[in-house]
Structure 1
Amino acid sequence: MPFNDPDSPSQALDLLIQGNARFVGGERLHPNQDADHRAALAPGQTPFAVMFGCSDSRLAAEIIFDRGLGDLFVVRTAGHVAGAEALGSIEYGVGVLGAPLVVVLGHDSCGAVTAASQAYVDGNSPTGFVRDVVERVYPSVLSARAAGTTEIDDIVDEHIRKTTEFLVERSAVLAAKVADGSCAVAGLSYRLHEGTVRLVAAHGELGEHLVAN
């Protein structure tokens, strides 16, 4: 399959999973990183996925999915919290650039989730604008706690699920694309030590890809 030409949201996710397997196995191909490809992209871009991830410095999407220039439209915030700017950027990637897949990328030991969980326990929140990040993660902590979940990494998975739900519920542009099958939303959880990803949430048609238990 061509590196840049997935025919469906499922195939777009396949490309990411295949690239992650190469990254984990130390067999990266570094596609679409040469000078000719750089020049060919100058007139415009057609990324095959919007990557909405945590800002953690260890979560560089093009590296962990073995991708190159023009492949991923990347939006990152601490704890992948979605305000108006993030939502607008995601809508641009889907509605204007035509990406068939939106990925919410979280990771284990997330600092934003840890801070929100600690705020739940002791009632103390950070100061400044970090407080706003924590407050946006807090509903995921409450949902996880209500289900009896207390481990940080399990709460991270719940936050990924809640973020995918939020994107589809809040963005009419994205919801319409998911409804007509031209786009899907996948929530992936990344393990920092192993470098692997697993699917924990999905909205739309993703073929044979199954959400992990």
Structure 2
Amino acid sequence: MLSPTGAAGAAAIVGGGASASAQAPSLLKPAPPASELTPDTALQLLREGNEAFLRGEQTSVLTSAQRRLDIAKGQTPFAAYVTCSDSRVPPELLFGRRLGELFIIRNAGNTVDTVALGSIEYAVAELKVPLVVVMGHESCGAVKAATQVVTDNAEFPGSIGPMIEPIVPAVLAARREEGDLLDNSVRANVRRVVKQLRQHTDPILLEPQRSGALKVVGAYYDLDQGKVDFFDLP
């Protein structure tokens, strides 16, 4: 639980532990290079990987000496993934993907600042990924802090306050919705970032979206169930 006063509350932003489950060998195949995938086939790889994760499977090729040697020569990820720093939300494990298959940008609250945006643009322009995913998650501490700013006029120490400022507009929008404010705010925050990447960004991202070479999608990860819901599709 993030505390509005004192630095000790900062740790809660990126979450706690999760129980392990028995896992079986995976039938997932290595992903083809990005150049061989469309946005939809890249998204399908992620869907299949999460389904395998839900079945308790884990790929045996996440890492190996040969894989490390192969990708030391260069990387060919098939998706750029913007998600939270929360320790319970590791994209490679949630989707059973190997080293070098996902280009991951992580920060508390999965927001997109200049550094994150430049990283996404690099993945699209230089690495030619066909898919960008923005994923929030259940019980996000950064989003919870933003809801406390809105509902309780809370203040946070150090750089935590400025860090969560970009999330506050999503909370304000979510207040108009029925249901749980935190959960609605997590999804609203994802939609806000996705909209930014689809409409209010550089031609580096806009032009491949117009041509169909790139898609930006929004997702929500359920900590309890382990399921990823791709709920904001173009």
What is the TM-score with the length of structure 2 in the denominator?
0.82
Residue of structure 1 equivalent to 2:129: 99
Alignment of 1:40 onto 2:70: yes
Decide which of 130, 135, 148 is 2:160's aligned counterpart.
Answer: 130
SS at match of 1:80: coil
Residue range with higher mean Cα deviation, 85-94 or 145-154 = 145-154
Decide which of 216, 227, 230 is 1:185's aligned counterpart.
Answer: 216
SS at match of 2:109: helix
Q: What is the deviation of 1:150?
A: 4.6
Alpha-carbon distance in structure 2 between the residues aligned to 1:12 and 1:21? 15
Contact 1:140–1:159 (CA<8 Å) still a contact in 2?
yes
Task: Give the gaps of 5 or more residues in structure 1.
Answer: 204-213
Alignment of 1:78 onto 2:78: no
Taking only aligned residues, the RMSD between alpha carbons, in angstroms, comes to: 1.6
Q: 1:26 to 1:150 in 2, by over 3 A?
A: closer
Residue of structure 2 equivalent to 1:146: 176
Q: What is the deviation of 1:109?
A: 0.6
State the Cα deviation string for residues 125-178 of structure 1 (Å, max 9, x = none): 213211112211001011111345553112211111111111223322111111
Residue of structure 2 equivalent to 1:175: 206
Residue of structure 2 equivalent to 1:208: none
Alpha-carbon distance in structure 2 between the residues aligned to 1:4 and 1:162? 31
Residue range with higher mean Cα deviation, 107-116 or 163-172 = 163-172
Decide which of 23, 32, 44 is 1:4's aligned counterpart.
Answer: 32
Alignment of 1:160 onto 2:160: no
Contact 2:42–2:79 (CA<8 Å) still a contact in 1?
yes
SS at match of 2:233: strand
Contact 2:30–2:97 (CA<8 Å) still a contact in 1?
no
Q: What is the deviation of 1:190?
A: 0.3
State the Cα deviation string for residues 70-116 of structure 1 (Å, max 9, x = none): 10000001101111000000100111100000010110111111111
Alignment of 1:198 onto 2:226: no
Larger Rg: 2
Q: What is the deviation of 1:30?
A: 3.4
Task: Give the gaps of 5 or more residues in structure 2.
Answer: 1-28
Please tell me the residue identity of whatever aligns with 1:201. Answer: D
Please tell me the residue identity of whatever aligns with 1:30. Answer: S
Please tell me the residue identity of whatever aligns with 2:164. Answer: V
Contact 1:161–1:200 (CA<8 Å) still a contact in 2?
no
SS at match of 2:57: coil
In the alignment of these two chains, the number of paired residues is 203
Alpha-carbon distance in structure 1 between the residues aligned to 2:108 and 2:32? 28
Contact 1:160–1:200 (CA<8 Å) still a contact in 2?
no
Residue range with higher mean Cα deviation, 7-16 or 142-151 = 142-151
Alpha-carbon distance in structure 2 between the residues aligned to 1:10 and 1:195? 22
